[in-house]
Structure 1
Amino acid sequence: MLVPTVAAVYEFVIKGRKRLGYRVQMDTTVTDVVQSEHAGPLRELREGGDPLAKPTLVLLRIENNGASFIDTHDYAVLDDSRVGLRVRFPGRRVAGMVVTELSDDYLSDSFANGGGFAADGDSIELPRTPMNRSAHYKVLAALERADGSSGNQGTFDPPLVTGGIKGGRIVETQSRTGTPKRAIALIGFLVVLVVAQLLVFLRSSTATSLDCATGRLDVVGSTAFAPIVREAAASYRRLCPGAEFTIDMRGSGEGFQALQTTAGASMLAFSDGEKPDGMPALLPRPIAFFLFTMVTNADSGVQDLTLEQIRRTYRGEVTNWREIGGKDVPVRLVSRNPGSGTRAALQRRVLGGVREPGSNSDDCRTLDPGAELGVIRCARNSTEDVLRTVADTPGALGYAELGAATSRDDLALVRIGGHRATVSEADHGTYPFWETEYGYTHGEPDAHSLAASFLRYLTNQVGADIIRANGDRPCADLANPAICRPA
C-alpha cells in the first residue's frame, strides 16, 4: 500500500499545488477577416497596417489550475525579467494580439504599460502575472504565415509554450467529456484509503488527533485579521469538534486591553504589529506577514502617490487632489480610530512615526460644528467601515488590509512610489506599508491548551494555506523570515 499512497500524495498534493495550465481554444484560418466574430479586435490590431495575406487566429487561455496562489516570484526567470512565459508559433509570425478576457480585474495591472506583454517575431511574451486559484486570462492573436514556410494552408505546427514555475509545473490542459482512467483509479484508491482510516479511527481508543484541544477560546483584536481567524476557527472545529470559539474582534488596541484584563489562558489577541509599552505579561508569536494598501474613491483620479505626497496630505498641506495631479475634488481622509493596529502600522511605516491628527467630521463630507477649517478627517471602527466609507465618499483616501481591499471593485488601490502592494516588493524593501501579525497570550500558555493548539494550527500547513488564500503570507515564506520577529 505504501507505493500507491506515495504516488497519490505526490500527484495531488505536491505536483498539484502550483500548476499553471495553458489551453489553445482556437487555432484556425480566417478567409474573410471582416466577417469573423472576432473582427472587432482584429480591426484594432490591423488599424493603419497592411491586410494580412494568409491570416490565422489563435485563442490562448492561461489559467491557474493548481491548488496554490501563483505570485510573480514563482516564475522560473531572472529577477529583473518582466516576461514569465513565451508562446512560439512555428512557421508563423505574430501580426498583433489583444487580451480578450480577464477572470479578475487585478490581472489587468500585469498587462498595463507593456508589463512584459509583447510580440517578438514568431512568439508572444506573457508577463509574470500573479494568479489566484482558478484565475485565468485569454489572449487572441492574429498571425501571418511566415515567408517561405512549408505546409498547406490550414495545417500548422502546434504552439510551443516555454517557461517554468518554481516548485510546480506548466501543463497543457484540455476540455474532456469523461474522467481520465488514471484519475478514476487514484480517486478509487483514495476512497478505499479514507474508509480504512475511518475504520481504524472508530476502533481506536484515542478519538482525536494528538494536537486537537477541547474547551472554549475567546479571540479578540485586529479587525483586519478577523476574516482569517474566522476561516481558520471553522476549519479547526471541523477537525476538533470539542473546540468552541467566541470571536469578537474590534481592533488591536481593544484586544490588548481585554487580554491584559482577563489574564487567562482562554483568550488570544491578534494585533497588526507589536504591543504598546507597559504590558510585560503579554507574549507575542509571529503569525503572518501582513500587507496593507492605501485606497481612494475613484473620483480622486489618483493611483500612485509618493511617501512625501501621502505625508503632506495627512499633514493637511494637500486639500484638493488637483494639487498633486488628480482631479478637481476636495481631499477627505478616512482613518481608523486610535488603538487600531492598522492605524499604528500607517503611522509607523508610512507617516514616519507621526501620529494622525484627530477627526473633525462624523459624516466624512462636512466639518462638524465648531471644527477648524481644513482637510475633512473622519474615523471608523473597522476595516470594512473604512472601505465602505471611502467607496461612498468623493475624494476620500483611506487605508486597509490588502486582502479586504482587493475583494472590492468600487475602490482604487494606490501604489506607493510606483510600487504595488506585493510580498516580493515588501520583502525586498521597496514597498513600505506592511506589518507583522502577532498572536498574543497572557503569559506562556499550556502546551495542551486550545490557545496553544490554535496558534500552532495557524502556523502549520492548513492555517498557512488559509493565510495565503487571503492574500498574505506566513513568515516562513519570506526571503528573510527574521523581519517578522519582534524587535
Structure 2
Amino acid sequence: MSRRNFVGAAAATAATVAAFSLTGCGSNGSGDTKSDAKEDKAETKALSGTITAVGSTALQPLCEAAAEQFMEKNSGVQITVQGGGSGQGITQITQGAVQIGNSDVFAEAKVKDTADLKKIADNKVCIVGMGPIVNKDVTVDDLTIDQLKSIFTGEVTNWKEVGGADAAITVINRASGSGTRATFEAAVLGDTKVPDTFKPQEQDSSGTAAKMVASTPGAISYLAFSYYDDTVKALKVGGVEPKEANVEDNSWTIWAYEHMYTAADPDEATKAFIEYMMSDDVQGELVEAQGYIPVSGMKVEKDASGKVTKK
C-alpha cells in the first residue's frame, strides 16, 4: 500500500486523501477496507508451525540438512529430525504422532490395514544406494551376491572362505525395524531364511553400525552410500562398483526410494517443507552433495512388491 503525503494541504483535504488511500489500497476497487485488510494480511502472513520427522537413519542426514536450510528461510517453523528406523517412522505417521515418517521401504511392507494406508501420503524424495562395507583391514574387495548371502546367514564365518585372509568374520546387522536392513536382505537374501542359531550383533542406527565396523577387525555390515567415508571400505558386488550411475540403471541392485510419509492432508508447514524437498534447492544441489540420487535420474522404477521395470 502506498502512502501519499500532501504538504500544506487543508485538514479537510488531508482527511479526504487519507480516506481515499484506505479505500483504494485493494485491487478490487470495492472500498471494502475489512476485505482489503484480510487480503493484505494473508499475503504477508509468515509460515509457522512445528514439524517432527522420525524414522529412517539412512535418510536422516539429508532430512537434517534440508531442514536447516528450510528453517533459515522460514524462521517461524521449527523442524526436529530423529532416527529410530523406518518401522518407527511408518508406525508414528500412521498413528498421527508425528508430521513426517521417514522410511527406506514402502509403507505397504509394514502396514497391512488399508484404512491406515489411506491416512498417509507417500513422497519419494530421492533414491538411496546401499551396500556392504568392511573394516579396512579386510583384504577382500569384491563379493558376489551368493557370497554375501553365505556370510549374512552364518554359513561362511572366515574371510579365507571368500578369498581373503585367515580371519574371523564379524557380522554387524541393523535392528529388525530398519529399512536399510530390509532393503539389503531383500536384495541379498531374497527368500532365504536366517537360521535361528545365527545371532549377529545388531545396531540401531547407520552411524553406530559404521563406527562398529571401523573399530572391529574382520567386521562387515551394510550402509547407505550417504554414510560411506574413509573409515571403512566399501565392497564391489559381482564386479559392480557402488556408484550412482550403476544404481540408476539397476546394475547395482541394492537400492531403495527414500519416502517421507505425511498425513493425507498435511498441515501448511509440513506441506511447504515437502515441496521444498522437491525443489531445485534440494533436488538440484543437496541430494547429490549428501550422497543420494535424484529420482529424476533413474532409468528404472520399483514398485511396492520390489518389482523393477524400465521407465
Classify the TM-score, shorter chain.
0.7 to 0.9
Is 1:417–2:255 an aligned residue pair?
Answer: no
Aligned runs of 1:326-365 on 2, under 5 Å? 326-354=164-192, 356=194
Displacement of 1:298: 2.1
Q: Distance in 2 between matches of 1:467 and 1:357?
A: 38
RMSD: 2.1
Is the partner of 1:473 in helix, strand or coil?
A: coil
User: In the alignment, what sits opposite 2:51?
Assistant: 217
Is the partner of 2:157 in helix, strand or coil?
A: coil
Query: Aligned AA for 2:231?
Result: D
Q: Distance in 2 between matches of 1:218 and 1:454?
A: 11
Q: Distance in 2 between matches of 1:251 and 1:267?
A: 16
Q: Distance in 1 between matches of 2:50 and 2:195?
A: 40
User: In the alignment, what sits opposite 1:248?
Assistant: 82
Aligned-pair identity in percent equals 26
Is the partner of 1:386 in helix, strand or coil?
A: helix
Q: Distance in 1 between matches of 2:164 and 2:295?
A: 37
Query: Aligned AA for 1:240?
Result: N
> Any idea what the Cα deviations from partners look like across 1:185-237, whole Å, max 9, x if unmatched?
xxxxxxxxxxxxxxxxxxx97447xxx73200111010111111111011001
> Any idea what the Cα deviations from partners look like across 1:344-380, whole Å, max 9, x if unmatched?
101112221445567xxxxxxxxxxxxx6x6x61000
Query: Aligned AA for 2:50?
Result: R
Decide which structure has greater strand share. 1
> Any idea what the Cα deviations from partners look like across 1:454-473, whole Å, max 9, x if unmatched?
11111110111211111112
Aligned runs of 1:397-436 on 2, under 5 Å? 397-405=220-228, 408-436=229-257
Aligned length, in residue pairs: 258
Query: Aligned AA for 1:432?
Result: T
Is 1:293–2:131 an aligned residue pair?
Answer: yes
Query: Of 281, 287, 294, which aligns to 1:474?
Result: 294
Q: Distance in 1 between matches of 2:212 and 2:193?
A: 21
Displacement of 1:409: 1.5
- The answer to whether the 8 A contact 2:83-2:205 is kept is no
- The answer to whether the 8 A contact 1:347-1:356 is kept is no
Query: Of 193, 203, 216, which aligns to 1:380?
Result: 203
Aligned runs of 1:123-138 on 2, under 5 Å? none
**Structure 2 unpaired stretches of 5+:** 1-39, 306-311
User: In the alignment, what sits opposite 1:267?
Assistant: 99
> Any idea what the Cα deviations from partners look like across 1:102-140, whole Å, max 9, x if unmatched?
xxxxxxxxxxxxxxxxxxxxxxxxxxxxxxxxxxxxxxx
- The answer to whether the 8 A contact 1:331-1:397 is kept is yes
Q: Distance in 2 between matches of 1:355 and 1:459?
A: 38
Aligned runs of 1:33-432 on 2, under 5 Å? 206-207=43-44, 213-262=47-96, 267-275=99-107, 276-278=110-112, 279-280=116-117, 281-354=119-192, 356=194, 377-405=200-228, 408-432=229-253
- The answer to whether the 8 A contact 1:334-1:390 is kept is yes
Displacement of 1:262: 2.5
Q: Distance in 1 between matches of 2:304 and 2:158?
A: 39
Query: Aligned AA for 1:302?
Result: V
Q: Distance in 2 between matches of 1:236 and 1:355?
A: 43
Displacement of 1:288: 0.6
- The answer to whether the 8 A contact 1:232-1:466 is kept is yes
Query: Aligned AA for 2:106?
Result: E
- The answer to whether the 8 A contact 2:102-2:259 is kept is yes
Q: TM-score, normalised by structure 2?
A: 0.77
Displacement of 1:326: 0.6
Decide which structure has greater helix share. 2
Is the partner of 1:317 in helix, strand or coil?
A: coil
Q: Distance in 2 between matches of 1:442 and 1:357?
A: 38
Query: Aligned AA for 2:111?
Result: D
Q: Distance in 2 between matches of 1:423 and 1:484?
A: 16
Q: Distance in 1 between matches of 2:246 and 2:140?
A: 21
Give every structure 1 segment of 4 or more consecutive aligned residues whose post-TM-superposition deviation is greater than 6 Å: none
Q: TM-score, normalised by structure 1?
A: 0.50
Q: CA 1:303–1:458 in 2, change beyond 3 Å: closer, same or farther? A: same
Q: Distance in 2 between matches of 1:337 and 1:356?
A: 14
> Any idea what the Cα deviations from partners look like across 1:215-264, whole Å, max 9, x if unmatched?
0011101011111111101100111111111222211111122222235x
Q: Distance in 2 between matches of 1:353 and 1:246?
A: 37
Q: CA 1:463–1:287 in 2, change beyond 3 Å: closer, same or farther? A: same
Q: Distance in 2 between matches of 1:238 and 1:356?
A: 46
Q: CA 1:432–1:301 in 2, change beyond 3 Å: closer, same or farther? A: same
Query: Aligned AA for 1:249?
Result: G
User: In the alignment, what sits opposite 1:140?
Assistant: none
Query: Aligned AA for 1:396?
Result: A
